[in-house]
Amino acid sequence: MLDMDLRLLLQSLTPSSQSVYVLVFYFVYLAVAGEILPGKVIRGVLLPDGSQLRYRCNGLFALTLLVAILGICAKLGIVSPLVVADRGLELLSATFIFCVLVTLALYVTGRSSSDKSSSLKPHVSGNLVHDWWFGIQLNPQFLGIDLKFFFVRAGMMGWLLINLSILAKSAQDGSLSQSMILYQIFCALYILDYFVHEEYMTSTWDIIAERLGFMLVFGDLLWIPFTFSIQGWWLLNNKVELTVPAIVANCFVFLIGYMVFRGANKQKHIFKKNPKTPIWGKPPVVVGGKLLASGYWGIARHCNYLGDLMLALSFSLPCGISSPVPYFYPIYLLILLIWRERRDEVRCAEKYKEIWAEYLRLVPYRILPYVY
């Protein structure tokens, strides 16, 4: 029996030609749509060599068009809306293989690069594992496409497409519940909001500081879409009935999390564009002319992480408390963000020196005021 289960698992994990076709279509569509669809062109942050990358923020248009195309194709019987839900493990393993191949290409091209620009200058530590994991170049490109920005977009859109396929399967199986609907609404609002404010991504830690290696490639293309949707997969096989107070409380956690997360990121983005813009109706408090200590950023040094954690929790609460499985995402995110916050603190202390010490005095809390 165990051997049979193992064989079935291995068969489910073995990529088929159809799963490869799905991935190829998806990436080709995103590459073409990202280049030809109209969208606001944003300048990235100023790099050490004085250059600025340009980003075409047309993700919402590209996502809406893709969902419309897939919806029409499903209506005509060209493609099944269950293709992702029925081939989830196949797509996961195919995506993993793609991540490994992409990282290998990035490593080889990065090591052989002699470019001196801030975006493409190779940072080789000599440690194979370190260079593979963290990457060598800051903003590598392929056919003029900024890969880091492209992969984040692919991961966020993939998350929504997986959820929509899960929703279709739930409706077909007759297992659609309030919990599933609530989870789907929260995730869809979060993802759509991301693309409405896609330009804010250009000033985040991932874009401006992290080099592109396996950590980001795997995180963007596989971890985001396949693990952030665990709650949906779990609800397919577990029916949860929520009380009205539980639904209201869940909505409250989502709304507060969204307000903190979006508000903090918006304040930081606007500050980087124009440091004199008022925050909450008052002139911003700026330490050393560089560090914002107003608004959400005067409450905690990484208050956007608090909002992100509350949102992650809101995605899991519709699953009830009978199992820890649906809470994998918020637990993982808590560990990740604390690790990232610690790395960021070290980097900022080295970069800003005495300015950072003054900032710590004004804003003593890291993520959660009076707690951490």
What tens-digit pLDDT sequence spans the chain (372 residues)?
A: 444 455 555 666 677 778 888 899 999 999 999 999 998 888 877 777 777 888 899 999 999 999 999 999 888 888 888 888 888 888 899 999 999 999 999 999 888 888 777 778 888 888 888 888 888 888 888 888 889 999 999 999 999 999 999 999 998 888 788 999 999 999 999 999 999 988 888 877 778 878 888 999 999 999 999 989 999 999 988 888 888 999 999 999 999 999 998 888 888 878 877 778 888 878 888 887 778 888 888 888 888 899 999 999 999 999 988 888 999 989 988 998 888 888 888 888 888 888 888 888 888 888 888 888
Report CA-CA distances (Å) from 58 to 3, 104, 194.
48, 29, 12
Instruction: List, in sequence order, every residue forming a beta bridge with 282; answer none if it has no partner.
Output: 279
Structure token digits, residue 165: 């396929």
Please answer whether residues 37 and 68 qualify as being in contact, where contact means their C-beta atoms are separated by less than 8 angstroms. no
Query: How far is Cα 217 from Cα 366, in angstroms, rounded to an integer?
Result: 27
What's the 3-state SS for 304-330?
A: HHHHHHHHHHHHHHHHCCCCCHHHHHH
Query: How far is Cα 122 from Cα 207, in angstroms, rounded to an integer?
Result: 16
Residues 6+ apart with CB under 8 A from 38: 58, 61
Query: How far is Cα 39 from Cα 51, in angstroms, rounded to an integer?
Result: 22
Please answer whether residues 161 and 241 qualify as being in contact, where contact means their C-beta atoms are separated by less than 8 angstroms. no
Q: Reduced to 3 states, what is the DSSP secondary structure of residue 35? A: helix
Domain boundaries in the chain?
11-239, 242-371
Which amino acid belongs to residue 90? E
Burial of 229 (0-12, 13-18, 19+ CB in 10 A): buried
Query: Tokens 């280049």 appear where?
Result: 35
